[in-house]
Chain A
């Protein structure tokens, strides 16, 4: 099995490298048929999926460790290149390779005819390689390789159409850069977290760290371990900063909506199903450490709840179909943070899985719509597409309902479990999380209903030309949509909660990895759980009904409401103007400081003028020695060599 572990990323690396080479050769005139590229691109993900499945079948209650070579010498011990597969890894592997394969298949259709066809798949393969390294990593340093690598591929793919504009003021390349830089800010926290872990425990390996923490919990609990807080809190918050970057949470969520500049399959794979869940994954992995710090836990869950709510409100006001989905992703990731922040890792991971299905389906569906609409993304110009695009419409509707939380589709099971955990815990701020969670759920139902109704219901608002060309997408695309929609409908049954007569099989599996000590004890709170579930379903239904009333029954209503609450609407529509705030308070002051003070005053005035003053003295001296300066380089060289010869000669005398 150890070999299999190494094969998984290797397939993708080979794919990425060979495709990359082909892409470069193509610029020199090599003809590469698209079909060949397609097969080559898909083969890596498929093989990796098969291997992942084999691991999943064999892992049982155990873990696999696969050793590579010594990488970096830190302190007195080498940090190895080492992969580790436990139950949590298995789930992540299956999600990444499974969804990854589907999205590769979809992309062969979606990207057809694009000038950068080969380059696209090369990047996409490379992304999967790094994502697999991330989830397979046995230590922080390896994880960081994947962590930065996926960020890089995200950057490359957001800016894939590097000569295009994304919005009137922002190019795709700028959007890509923004993603990378904002992530780097988070990474600074992540790196510091690693450093602190290493200084404290002397290891970067997850497994050894866990043993260390179990043996010496008191080390992490001391009051002023690091700048006045306990080490567990400090490490937790530093890692959290990294996680908020990658998973687009407050305060670093601003890059994700702009990441929509990339091709839609990229949004589906990287910016919905896989990469953005890395933050959740890390916090989940480090559950044993977070558990030692109630402060860190409270911060994680609160950030999650706030993000879920605020992003949910923004999603209701966006008109770009992909922007709605982007904010929706931010919001759903917020739910996952609530769960990991409550220590309910398996619940968070479950939502991660269901979300991967319905959000990937929604993104790919929107891609299908955009494809048909000649790259129109504004929902105000859509409508009535259900007739021309029945499969896209059906699959997206299923996924939307799943996300809204209508039973028995998957979103109901995963989201309801999170809301229940928010309600039923002893951290003291559960009511706050629950209320925000319910409010976000209400938003979810509204914006999902709104998206479906604006796109597919009513009559088409597009121009005649677009209307005439409306068409359902090719089979490679609709087939994938269908598979994803079936998944979005059914995966919920993997984890039917006890109060509905299930066994929580999924949670039990993941708990082997994250909470092996804790055996779930089930108090008889079934009645409470059931009544909360009824409430959340009601909220979802009401939300969908509101959306129906606003966007189907009486389409003039939204405008009326907006008129009445102009200020609030604009604030939300402008995404609470967080981007503008960052720009004014961080970016611009830094640039001004660099330009005005550092460069012009310190470099030019203070230092250079001093040196030039000195140079003046030398020049005065030089004028008196000018006769030796002939200005001919040849003479200088000759003199130098003669001098050298003398020196060397003296060596032998």
Chain B
């Protein structure tokens, strides 16, 4: 089941390669059919995963892959990865439909890359083998690089390069650490005839590392995750990447790719290097909190809508990191929830910005103003999604935010005070955005004949808004799914550090 979901987009990509590249329609509908099928196939997973079942990781599928190196193909999901898998598959059909008008050349290449990206992301969330994870983690960067570099805006090469270098800079140390862990495990297993060296995460979890080893590995893994989140001060690739990426690229980037960082911390860093995490937590706390306020303030003065949303992402993801490193149930639960919520709201915001960009080919605030008159439906969607993003209670952003505050407050009230302040700025810059785009008089002639969004665009936004509301009003089912995993992470951590 999981493998089917994982490989369906990949096979779809191959199938698209067989289609004549000039038959645009077939390609588009084909891509849509694949992503929709993947989504529908993954829906039963939600029911199939039993929260509180005998084992945390379920629906496991595995096979030997490179036995000589102990590398296995092993996939499974727990509550956290299940939700992230669903997030990916929920967003991808929207991304495909959202690309239809934005992508005007090299259609086939584009949709092939998108489908590849989907498989890689799913793989990273499902992998139960460290090597497999690393492979997907690295592979993911490649389609993204091309999406930005080929279909991006004018300085796209600079942005793509920056994205690539940052990520590379982040993940090479991780590779070293991955290999080191493997060797270490092999070494430990040498004395025990029954044991096999492997990259299996279960085996690695049993590895006993000295504090120094933990620290080095944590730094190697952590850097990579921190770049992806992105955490201050490793965030400057994001505004450039977002600004230059085509709309679908931005949606995937904000919607899913950034979550890899948070997921990495939760799945690898905390369980494998708990003692290093314990010592590093205050520093990360500081950086995350600083980042929340910092990015919010910087967002405040941006003149480019996309850049503003990008900085708001940095601010929100700082909140996610803060929650994770609160290292308690509330914080981690909140962070996972915030990742899901942020994926929907920020993904939605980028879609919205894309819609208006298609009409006016500019993202400068100064080019807009008063367009609520011309585009009332668009304005309505924009405001609802914005409210989700600034944490209006009753919408999805609030739940995660509040839980993160609760988790943080337990650990350090002072940090919570700063983080809560950051959220005030969040409302400030987002509402200023709304005001500058939609309110006031129409001052530019180009805006006088803007047409409101059409059926296709409304159809894109409706599922997003529906989920934003649903996850705000009834977060229960989602929280219930992730709860055993959250508990397990906290308990493992606490027993490791001897609390």
Contact = CB atoms under 8 A, between A and B. Distances in A.
Contact of A611 (B65, B73, B165, B417): B165
Given A75-B330, A184-B427, A594-B297, A641 B370 contact: no
A24 B440 contact: no
Interface string A505-519: 000000000000000
22 contacts: A20-B380, A72-B475, A73-B479, A74-B406, A75-B330, A78-B476, A173-B440, A188-B420, A196-B409, A199-B409, A590-B300, A594-B298, A594-B301, A599-B298, A602-B233, A607-B233, A607-B235, A633-B106, A637-B146, A640-B116, A641-B17, A644-B10
Contacts of B300: 590-591, 594
A198 interface: yes
A73 B106 contact: no
Interface in B111-133: 112-113, 116
Judged by DSSP, the binding face of B is: helix
Interface string B142-179: 10001001100000000001100110010000000000
Interface in A149-163: 149, 152, 155, 159, 162-163
A243 B41 CA distance: 49
B262 interface: no
Contacts of A636: 142, 146
A152 B439 contact: no
B194 to A, nearest CB: 26
Interface string A124-137: 00000000000000
Nearest 3 CB-CB pairings of A with B: A173-B439, A594-B297, A162-B439
Interface of B: 10, 13-14, 17, 63, 65-66, 73, 106, 109, 112-113, 116, 135, 139, 142, 146, 149-150, 161-162, 165-166, 169, 233, 235-237, 294, 297-298, 300-301, 329-330, 333, 370, 372-373, 376-377, 380, 387, 392-394, 399, 402-403, 405-406, 409-410, 413, 416-417, 420-421, 423-424, 427-428, 431-432, 435, 438-442, 452, 474-476, 479-480, 483
Contacts of A460: none
Given A69-B474, A71-B476, A598-B297, A195 B330 contact: no
A74 B399 CA distance: 10
Given A75-B329, A162-B372, A611 B162 contact: yes
Contacts of A75: 329-330, 406
B109 A634 contact: yes
B424 A72 contact: no
B409 A188 contact: no
Contacts of B142: 636, 640
Interface stretch (A140-148, A317-325, A371-379, A399-407): A140-148
Nearest to A651: B65
A222 interface: no
Contacts of B301: 591, 594-595, 599
B393 A74 contact: no
Contacts of B441: 163
A623 interface: no
A561 interface: no
Interface in A601-653: 602-603, 606-608, 611-612, 614-615, 618, 633-634, 636-637, 640-641, 644, 647, 650-651
A88 B40 CA distance: 49
A608 B146 CA distance: 22
A290 interface: no
Interface stretch (A174-182, A263-271, A431-439): A174-182
A181 B300 CA distance: 13
A177 B432 contact: yes
Given A141-B402, A163-B373, A180-B427, A173 B435 contact: yes
A629 to B, nearest CB: 11
Given A595-B301, A611-B162, A163 B428 contact: no
A595 B416 CA distance: 25
A242 to B, nearest CB: 11
Judged by DSSP, the binding face of A is: helix
Contacts of B431: 155, 177, 180-181
A651 B62 CA distance: 11
Interface residues of A, number: 71
A641 B11 CA distance: 11
A185 interface: yes
A171 interface: yes
A148 B393 contact: yes
B421 A188 contact: yes
Contacts of A602: 233, 294
Contacts of A70: 476
A226 interface: yes
Contacts of B394: 145, 148-149
Contact of A618 (B73, B165, B233, B237): B165
Contacts of B233: 602, 606-607
Contacts of B106: 633-634
A583 to B, nearest CB: 14
A170 to B, nearest CB: 11
B439 A27 contact: no
Contacts of B376: 23-24, 27
B441 to A, nearest CB: 5
Contacts of A69: 474, 476
Contact of B161 (A598, A603, A615, A644): A615
Interface in A60-83: 69-76, 78
Contacts of A226: 413
B162 A615 contact: yes
A192 interface: yes
